[in-house]
């Protein structure tokens, strides 16, 4: 009798254990067999073949599968990874990758600033359709920005500064930060079409003229930084259309001609830096009377005079290194008399007084019509 009872209990125990395994399998959605292992102080339940992947991975959606493919393609294009950043890019859980940030299961931000990565940017990144921020500051990326980036409709911030790119990428972004690269050639003709609030192309090797259409779209740009390039020609009159600009810095170029009167339309401007160029003529009252202007630097040009309004202001204004009579720290007279940059003819709007709200009409009609005289 005792033996019969023991046998029944054993069968019940087996049935209970089998049900437990089946219930566990159903709860975790395990298919292709169930494995139960106990050891090493932990318990794991899994099924199918152990492929050695990341145990933290989650079933991927279609977008995640595309993101995985994109990042793995980029990983292969990175030839040096001294900090071991992309070495963490293992497994299908892309949201666990170092430098990759997600909202839900979608990649919305990639921040690899100061990773010192060397390689190229791959066209596959266009698969990251929800990407809003791509920060690659201070790396060693080179080559071209893929044309496929144009399809990144959600991208708002692209920071490629301090890299080794050889061509400019122009896209409608909230911030264009392409300073400290080795970009060469002319600025894109449609640069002013961007709704970006910051345009930073400083410390490159851009040459040619600032596009005459720059500003005609009435962009909401607040900072324009074109300093330390090789730009020539005039500042276009269309600059006056940047009604919200607060900082405009074109110092350390080879710009020439007069200061356009339309700068007086920049009612919000606080910092205007024209230093170390080849500007000439007189600095007009219209510029020095800007109500928000707190820093005007025109040093080391060939300005021959300043208006009465400018002469009354000293704090925050630097006029040194010019050809202005009666001012201290000016160029020696032989440098001034031998300079012929004043022969450059720039487009000028003759209407006085200047009607800032209406200047776009005349500018659009005259776009690309100013010439340089020998």
Which tokens is 306 given?
A: 């300043």
Instruction: List 208's β-bridge partners, or say none.
Output: 231
Containing 71, the helix (H) or strand (E) segment is: helix 62-77
CA atoms of 362 and 173, how far apart (whole Å): 28
* Distance in angstroms (rounded) separating the CA atoms of residues 274 and 253: 9
Instruction: Compute the distance between CA of residue 297 and CA of residue 331 in angstroms, rounded to an integer.
Output: 16
Please state, in angstroms and rounded to a whole number, the distance separating the CA atoms of residues 244 and 221.
Answer: 6
| Distance from C-alpha of 124 to C-alpha of 148, rounded to nearest angstrom | 8
What is the Rg, in whole angstroms, of the alpha carbon atoms belonging to the chain? 32
Q: How far, CA to CA in Å, does 110 sit from each of 96, 101, 103, 180, 295? A: 12, 6, 12, 20, 36
> pLDDT tens track of the chain, all 374 residues?
555 554 555 444 444 433 433 433 333 332 222 222 222 222 222 222 222 233 333 444 445 789 999 999 999 999 999 999 999 999 999 999 999 999 998 999 999 999 999 999 999 999 999 999 999 988 999 887 888 888 888 888 888 888 877 574 455 677 888 888 767 778 877 777 777 889 899 998 888 999 887 877 666 889 999 999 999 999 988 888 888 999 999 999 999 998 888 888 898 999 999 999 999 988 877 888 888 999 999 999 999 988 777 777 666 789 999 999 988 899 998 899 877 665 566 766 554 556 675 555 555 555 544 443 33
Q: How far apart are CA 234 and CA 257, in angstroms?
A: 6
Q: Which tokens hold the place of 53? A: 């992947």
Cα separation, 54 vs 49, in Å, equals 13
Coil, helix or strand for 69? helix
What does the H/E/C string look like for 322-365? CCCCCCCCCCCHHHHHCCCHHHCCCCCCCCCCCCHHHHHHHHHH
Query: DSSP secondary structure string, 147-184?
Result: GGGGG-TT--EEE--SSEE-S------SEEE--SS--E
d(CA 345, CA 114) in angstroms, rounded, equals 45
Length of the chain: 374
Strands 118-120 and 78-80: antiparallel
For residues 43 and 37, is the Cβ–Cβ distance under 8 A?
yes
Taking alpha carbons only, the member of 226, 190, 74 closest to residue 136 is: 74
pTM of the model: 0.65
Q: Around Cβ 319, how many Cβ atoms within 10 Å? A: 22
Q: How many other C-beta atoms lie within 10 A of the C-beta of residue 17? A: 11
């Amino acid at each position: 009798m005792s033996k019969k009872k023991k046998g029944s209990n054993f069968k019940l125990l087996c049935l209970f254990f089998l049900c437990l395994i089946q219930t566990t399998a159903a709860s975790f959605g395990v298919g292709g067999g169930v494995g139960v292992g106990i050891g090493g102080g932990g318990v794991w339940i899994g099924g199918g073949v152990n492929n050695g992947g990341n145990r933290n991975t989650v079933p991927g959606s279609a977008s995640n599968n595309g993101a995985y493919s994109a990042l793995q393609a980029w990983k292969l294009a990175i030839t040096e990874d001294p900090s071991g950043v992309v070495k963490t890019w293992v497994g299908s859980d892309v949201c666990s990758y170092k430098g990759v940030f997600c909202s839900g299961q979608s990649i919305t931000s990639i921040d690899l600033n100061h990773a010192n990565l060397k390689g190229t940017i791959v066209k596959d990144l266009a698969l990251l359709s929800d990407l809003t921020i791509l920060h690659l500051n201070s790396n060693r990326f080179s080559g071209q920005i893929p044309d496929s980036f144009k399809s990144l409709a959600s991208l708002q911030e692209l920071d490629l500064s301090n890299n080794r790119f050889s061509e400019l990428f122009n896209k409608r972004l909230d911030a264009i930060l392409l300073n400290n690269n080795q970009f060469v050639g002319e600025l894109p003709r449609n640069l002013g079409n961007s709704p970006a609030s910051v345009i930073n192309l400083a410390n490159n090797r851009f040459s040619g003229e600032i596009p005459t259409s720059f500003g005609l779209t009435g962009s909401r740009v607040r900072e324009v930084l074109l300093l330390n390039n090789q730009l020539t020609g005039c500042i276009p009159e269309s600059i006056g259309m940047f009604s919200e600009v607060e900082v405009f810095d074109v110092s350390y170029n080879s710009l020439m001609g007069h200061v356009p009167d339309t700068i007086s339309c920049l009612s919000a401007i606080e910092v205007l830096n024209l230093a170390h160029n080849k500007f000439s003529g007189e600095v007009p009252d219209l510029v020095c009377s800007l109500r928000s202007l707190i820093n005007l630097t025109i040093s080391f040009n060939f300005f021959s005079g300043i208006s009465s309004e400018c002469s009354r202001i000293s704090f925050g204004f630097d006029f040194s290194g010019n050809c202005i009579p009666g001012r201290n720290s000016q160029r020696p007279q032989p440098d001034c008399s031998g300079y012929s940059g004043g022969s450059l003819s720039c487009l000028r709007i003759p209407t006085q007084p200047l009607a800032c709200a209406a200047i776009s009409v005349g500018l659009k009609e005259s776009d690309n019509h100013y010439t340089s005289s020998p």
